Amino acid sequence: MGVPALVTVAHGTRTPAGNLVAAELTAAAAARLGWTATTSYVELSEPLFADVVAGTEQPTVVVPLLLSTGIHLRQDLPEAVAAAPRAELVRLGRSLGPDPLLAAAQVDRLREAGATPGQPVVLVAAGSTDPTATADLEGAVAFLAEAWGAPVRLATLSGLGERPEHVVRSGDAVSPYLLSTGYFHRKLRHDALAAGASLVGDVIGPHQLVVDLVCERAVALAAEGADLTE
At 25 the pLDDT is 98
Q: Which residues contact 104 (CB under 8 A, 6 or more apart)?
A: 147, 209
CA distances from 168 to 55, 122, 139, 157, 190 (A): 46, 7, 19, 12, 12
At 230 the pLDDT is 44
**Has this prediction a pTM greater than 0.85?**
yes
DSSP at 88? G
At 225 the pLDDT is 72
At 12 the pLDDT is 93
CA distance 211 to 121: 24
pLDDT block averages, 10 residues each, the chain of length 230: 89 92 98 98 96 97 96 95 97 98 98 97 96 96 98 97 98 98 95 98 98 98 70
